[in-house]
Chain A
């Protein structure tokens, strides 16, 4: 369970995330949608404890990511926007290193390694050098790294970016299969991805949450695309509407 509470992040004068709140329940997959530059990556970096928020907080299974940072971070598996690989290391050595950092007990490292290599389709790649892998395989190693300690919370920043259609299909299947009783948050700007695998959708635009809704409860017959476009334009429309209203009021005053 991830509870994001009134998160605000400012870089100097630029406010990237404004008062963002949402909740991701255990056993569900939350799709985090938004146009480029909407603040998705910033929000995910705050959720995982990489950077602090200017205001607000995040609870990971009830643990505060700022005040109980180590315990909270232990629960998270995180795939950043760019898979965090050491280009000189071999896949197996790299995953072993992450397993140790993530406190996987020594006796379980071998089985954990074998497991993630298998689910991510990397068994044949174990002895390859990370820097020489294709984009798709780098993405898979990134995913394997996020899964190796079997975390209850998974945060995936654009997990299917740069993959070919078959790989996208596989990774989506994998994420769906993984969810189980985990909490999964994945960001994307591919809409069908959300409708295929997510239970809940949160749309942000210009750093603000404009929609938080269960997919089941979305009005039947409307496509996610319409909802998305509607939600992100409503943001702009809102300002427009107030301007129109003011105009109308002014007009009304005159007549």
Chain B
């Protein structure tokens, strides 16, 4: 554990020694701000329009901030993460192999599991910091409106789970190669696949379709975004993280049997 924290500390500090981390955060927050602004404008217009049509108050009440602003914004940010996470995780192992520091890590008296855990903690913390900063948008809504705080919290929790699952997959692809581009592209491919995997299942009701639907990331994510924290979804995310990290550990350890 101590060794994992040593590595995590070095890795997390390392992110900020490089411009990549700042660029990724800036892009994420700028796009987030843009989505927020655009959706809020649209919300305002819908509200004004509905009021002008003099619809009954029941209908007006149903046009709420959570559904019209936070939900679509989180969905858009999830797509942005598909592109940004590979840029953050591609270095983790690939770079160490290329520069030779891998030799330092693997000959130090630490277990490969501790190396993987350390890198995971660092990358996950980075994501939490970034998503935490995007928490400014709900705060603005709380300051100037009356959104449901619990639902927004569940949505952000979903985004955090999503980002951490992505990071685990990114660590795995990075552990397979010493080429950062290969690590990034294969991570991107896997994440995108998890996004669209339920497409063939839309019509069918077979066990196969159920499986594809279970594997689909957005299905679990959209549940949480609507404010439902279901243990099934939490278990899904935790399993993705666990499986990806397990494979990473095996992949790093395999250097010792080859």
Contacts and interface: CB of A to CB of B under 8 A. Distances in A.
Interface of A: 45, 48-52, 70-71, 73-74, 76, 78, 80-89, 93, 97-98, 100-103, 145
A76 B106 CA distance: 12
Contacts of A98: 104, 108
Contacts of A81: 100
Contacts of A52: 256-258
A78 B107 contact: yes
Contact of A84 (B3, B100, B255): B100
Q: Is the interface of B mostly helix, strand, loop or mixed?
A: helix
B6 A101 contact: yes
Contacts of B108: 73, 98, 101-102
B76 interface: no
Contact size range, B:
20 to 34
Interface stretch (B10-18, B32-40, B206-214): B10-18
Contacts of A145: 104
B99 interface: yes
Interface string B99-120: 1111111111111000000000
B14 A101 contact: no
Nearest to B110: A101
Given A51-B256, A70-B109, A80 B103 contact: yes
Q: Is the interface of A mostly helix, strand, loop or mixed?
A: loop
Given A51-B255, A51-B258, A70-B111, A85 B101 contact: yes
A97 B101 contact: no
Contact of B99 (A48, A73, A86, A103): A86
Given A70-B110, A89-B17, 17 more contacts: A51-B256, A52-B256, A52-B257, A70-B111, A73-B108, A80-B103, A80-B104, A82-B100, A84-B99, A84-B103, A84-B104, A97-B6, A97-B10, A101-B3, A101-B104, A101-B110, A103-B109
Nearest to A75: B109
A49 B100 contact: no
Contacts of B255: 50-51
30 contacts: A45-B103, A49-B106, A50-B103, A50-B107, A70-B109, A73-B108, A74-B109, A80-B100, A81-B100, A84-B100, A84-B102, A84-B104, A85-B101, A86-B10, A86-B99, A88-B14, A88-B17, A88-B18, A89-B10, A89-B17, A97-B6, A98-B104, A100-B6, A101-B3, A101-B7, A101-B104, A101-B109, A102-B109, A103-B109, A145-B104
